[in-house]
Structures are given as structure tokens and as C-alpha cells.
Copies of this chain bind each other. A is one copy, B any other.
Amino acid sequence: MGNEEDAVKNISYENVTITSGFLFDKQELNRNTTIGAVYDQFFETGRIDAFRFEWKEGDEKKPHYFWDSDVAKWIEGAAYIIQKHPTPELLEKIEWLVERIKEHQGEDGYFNIFYTVCEPDGRWTNRDRHELYCAGHLMEAAVAYAQVTGKTDFLDCMEKYADYIQRVFVEEKSAAFVTPGHEEIELALIRMYEYTEKKKFLDLAAFFINARGVVEEPMMDEYRQTHKPVREQTAAEGHAVRALYLYTSMAMLAAKTGDEALACACRTLWKDITRRKMYVTGACGSTPIGEAFTAPFDLPNEGAYAETCASIALMFFGRAMLALENRAEYADVIERALYNGVLSGLSLSGDEFFYTNPLAICKSEYFENCWGKRKLPRTQRLKVFKCSCCPPNLNRLLPTLGGYLYGIEGERLYVNQFASSGVCDGEISCAVKTDYPRSGEVRISARGAKELAVRVPSWCDKITCNVSYRIENGYAIIQEPKSEVVFWFHMAPKAVRSDPRVVRNMGRICFMRGPIVYCAEAVDNGEDLHTVSVSADAEITVVKNQAFGLPCLKLPCRKRLPDDLLYASGTPNFAETELTLIPYHCFANRGESEMLVWLAEEI
């Protein structure tokens, strides 16, 4: 680790085009359906009209203090879409919003709907009311808008806002708190810095990161990652999205500054999450109590909180770690999250969403009486949520998936994720042809790179390649790649076990094919999925499925038959039958149904 910037550079979505295949289809779904569906819901709920700043006491649809961020993420997503597909209606909507932002920004640079129209005396008084978080998302939107349109008006507004924030928080110290209750502005400021190269943004980001847990302020606790200075945080704690946005910014800052203590904290936090606190789907934050990380290996399936945004944020963190050091495990986790915990947040129709993503649905557990209800995740996706952070997070993630595919370090080109795509970055260009993750065949034609580093997916234990390579940090390194390099990552479905300390998964296995985690749904297999047991060595048939865009799996299983008694010794009775597994992220697309990822292993 030197003190140069970004040891490894992730190639921006701007320079990558995904041309066909599974991820392309998801991008198209977002462009054709999701971006409009989210806008419509935001319009319906008053989030768009809030930007008129006309709300007054007594009116309906009172702006919520996080609405600015919802719409900012939508703007960001819409801008990315426009980059590849100029769409006048989208641009018009964006520009209407940008005009309103310009119109209503304060003289001093402040912009916040809630604290302007609802609580004008409350500015900077409540650490937990997302003011800096909203500012951060507006800044990210402004960067995207500038990148795509070349217009800097929105970015100028946000520079003015950032300067104002700098005065309030760094110079005057006149706010009632020092760092945001919900992190986001840190990484946004670093993106402002990356785009403008103005060091003041990096400095302000560093200020917020370095002050965290150091300076006395309200609500300093694990929930908000303010319990310790960031370099001393060794365990992922508290609200998962807040935590992961912070860790992302820490890794970004470490990559920019070469701050080894910060990089070290990031590695420790990464390991804590990915070795002890992450679902097999790449989801994290296992409890609804504070939407938070809990104890190591506490990963309940039925009660999984597993917020879509947390999986997206884990992708951000992984991408930031890749910019810090070239280890394939970061890209492995990005892949796990993307194809499972992230995409499960979006219906196949593209217009319905999960905020929480359970790994098991057992209807009999949804208990309710006059004293309350057992708190379990929703079993069906919704069009919009009161707290609707996840849908526009998908809007902005999907068009930038190209930005996760390639990295560059000197004259070495990294292929981190696999999709039919083209990339061009300076002297280096590359075309990839693949039907991944349907197939494990990846054809890579690179030009201008002295070395090609192709991630060997961690799920893969059998590789064929038409050229020779050596393995380094999880990558297959090919020297002087000439013609087409072809990898066949053998994709036989296989059984996966958890670390035995994951209490809920002991005695259970799940099935994966490539990066895709599978689950059983009652709609295919009948109720009482928990009575099914399967062998880890079962012979599995891979069956094409048009609706899911990915194959299903069929395998023999045994279903335990009920006894007459609730408790009995003696040999249990089984029926031999067949189990159909579908890609986990496709569950809950065919009506309400019981669902199970971790299946009992056959005795």
C-alpha cells in the first residue's frame, strides 16, 4: 500500500457497456419499468411535489425528513440510465427536480425540504434526522447528473451546500452535533472529490470520518457507529446500512490517502461481516431491532431483517475495498450480494420491492393476537414503503453494474464480474462474451493489457482454460494475453454448509449453482417445506426456466410423514419425492408461499 491514490482502479460504469445477458436484462427492466414505477410511487406519495416547497401545516403528505434522499437516489439512477439511453421524459423529470433544488436552495447553500417547510427552526439540531444523509444523496445525484449531462449547475449547488456544511461543522462548529447520525455524506463527498478533484471535499469527508466516536456529541453508541473512533472499530455494529456506508467511505478514504490504520480497520470489519455476520445471500443486518448487525453467527432465517439496502451497501463496501487492494474475495462477496440479497429486493415484474429479505417463510409463525404480533418480515413485495430507501437504491445500482465488472492496476486488467460487455479505459480495452451466470463459459478478448487478472469465483472448484495462468489473490493471472482467453467455470449445482456456529443452519444445507443461491417454495413443492430432507450428494437436474431467466434445480428428497404422536421414538416414516428449487432472488413472485433456503440434510 503506497500513498498514491487508488492502488486498483475500478473502471467506471461510464466506460463499460453491458451488451446482453442476465445483468443486461435487469438493467433493461430497471430502465423500462422500475425507474418509472418508483417515480410514480414517489409522485403519489407527495415526494416529488415536496420539491415545490409549498407544504404548510394542515396539508396532507407532510414531507418526511428522509424524502430528499429518496428522490435524490431516483435522480441519480435516472441520470445513469440517460447516459446509455437518452430518454427525454426522464431527463425532463430530472431537470424539473434540479430546477426546484436551484430555486429553493438557501442563500447560504442549505437545502433540505423538511427543515425548510416543516421545522424551519430545527436546522442542525437533531443528529438522527438525516440532514447530512440527505445532503450526501443530493451530492451523489449531482455528480451523476454532471457525469452524464456535462452540466454543472446541480453540482455547483451541491458545492455551495458542501461549503456551507464545512463552515457550520468545521469552522463555526455551530450544529448541535459533529457527525451525522446516518452516514452517507462521507462517501458522497469523496465522490465529489473524485469528480471535481477539489481536495476540500476529501478533507470534509475525512473530517466527518475522523471525528466519529472521538468528539463528544449526542447519541454516541454502537447503533450509529459512534461508540469508538473509526480506526478502533473492529466489529460491525449497529444499523447495517449506516455501518456499511461508513465502512465504504473509510475504505475510499484509505485508498485515497494511503492511511494504513484506516485500511486495517476496514479489513477487520470486512472480515467480521463476511466471516461471521453475512447471510449466504450476501444479506446482512439480521435483526429488525434497529435494522442492525447482531452477535457473530446470529443469522435467523425466518426473522432475517436483511435489508435490500444493506446488501447494496455491502457491494459498495466491496467495491471500495477492491480500490484498496486487489483481492478476489471482495468481488466474490459483491457477486454473492448482487445475485441473491440485492436482486431479491426487486420483483420479476420490476415494480414491487422487498425492504427485508427473509431466508425462510413459515406461515404458521406469523402469530398475532390482541396483545401484539410476532415481528417477522413481509412475505410479499410492495410497490412502495413509508421508508422507501430500497427501491431508488436499486434504481441507481442497476445502471452502474458495469462499474463492478473491471478494474485496472498499471497495465493489468482485472475482470471481477462476468457479463457480455465491452470496456475501454485509455489504452486498455476488452470485450467479454458470456451467458454468465446461466453458464460458466467466459470468453475474454483484451487489448493493451500486459496482464489479465480474471477472478476465479470462490464457488468454483473446477476450472478449464485455454491458456495457462497462475493464481494470485484469487485471480487467474494471464501474462501477455494474445487472442481470446476462454474460461469454463464448471457450474455443477452443489450443497453448501454454514459455519457450524450459525445455530439456525446446523444440520441444514442449501444449494447453489454458480453464484446463485436456491430456495424451495411451497408453490412448487407443497406446504411443510421444513419436513423435507435432502442429501448433499443428491443427483441434481438443471432445468431451464424462461420466467426466472435462470435455471431451476430438481433433486430427489424425502418428506417426513407426520406421526400420530407429537413425540415418538422409533423409526420415522418418509415419502420419497422430488424437490424443485428456484433461484432465491425469484421467490415471492407467484403469490404468497412458504419458502426455505436451508434444507434439512438427510440422515
> Interface residues, chain A, CB within 8 Å of chain B?
219, 221-223, 238, 274-276, 278, 280, 287, 289-290, 292, 294-298, 300, 362, 364-365, 367-374, 458-459, 461, 494-503, 506-508, 512, 528, 530-531, 533, 559-570, 572, 600-603
Contacts and interface: CB of A to CB of B under 8 A. Distances in A.
A292 B367 CA distance: 10
A531 B568 CA distance: 24
A298 B302 CA distance: 13
A569 B461 contact: yes
23 contacts: A219-B370, A221-B369, A238-B369, A274-B566, A275-B566, A280-B566, A295-B367, A298-B365, A364-B503, A365-B503, A494-B569, A497-B568, A498-B566, A500-B528, A500-B559, A500-B561, A501-B528, A501-B530, A501-B531, A502-B566, A506-B533, A506-B600, A601-B603
A141 to B, nearest CB: 29
Quick one: copies of this chain in the complex?
A: 2
Contacts of A295: 364-365, 367
Contacts of A297: 364
B496 A298 contact: no
Contacts of A292: 369, 371
Nearest to A276: B566
B500 A367 contact: no
Contacts of A370: 219, 221, 223, 290
Contact of A289 (B275, B369, B531, B603): B369
A562 B276 CA distance: 11
Nearest to A601: B603
A365 B568 CA distance: 29
A531 B506 contact: yes
A374 B295 CA distance: 12
Contacts of A497: 563, 567-569, 572
Contacts of A289: 367-369, 371-374
**Closest 3 CB pairs between A and B?**
A500-B560, A290-B371, A295-B364
A19 to B, nearest CB: 31
Contact of A508 (B507, B512, B562): B507
A27 to B, nearest CB: 28
Contacts of A566: 274-276, 278, 280, 498-499, 502
Contacts of A564: 275
Nearest to A298: B364
A44 B560 CA distance: 53
B499 A562 contact: yes
Contacts of A499: 562-563, 565-567
Contacts of A221: 369-370
Interface centre among A496, A503, A562 (most CB of B within 10 A): A503
A386 to B, nearest CB: 17
A496 to B, nearest CB: 5
Nearest to A290: B371
A576 to B, nearest CB: 15
A290 B501 contact: no
A362 to B, nearest CB: 5
A369 B289 CA distance: 7
A275 B276 CA distance: 38
Given A289-B373, A495-B569, A569-B461, A562 B367 contact: no
A506 B560 contact: yes
A603 B507 contact: yes
B223 A367 contact: no
A459 B569 CA distance: 8
Contacts of A296: 364
A532 to B, nearest CB: 9
A494 to B, nearest CB: 5
Contacts of A298: 364-365, 367
B565 A275 contact: yes
A371 B223 contact: yes
A507 to B, nearest CB: 4
B371 A567 contact: no
Nearest to A458: B565
Contacts of A563: 497, 499
A290 B374 CA distance: 11
Contact of A222 (B369, B503, B603): B369
Nearest to A508: B507
A545 B276 CA distance: 38
Given A500-B531, A563-B499, A374 B287 contact: yes
Given A289-B373, A530-B503, A569 B496 contact: yes
Contacts of A494: 569
Contacts of A367: 287, 289, 294-295, 298
A128 to B, nearest CB: 10
Contacts of A565: 275, 458, 499
Contacts of A219: 370
A499 to B, nearest CB: 5
Contacts of A570: 461
A498 B569 contact: no
Contacts of A458: 565
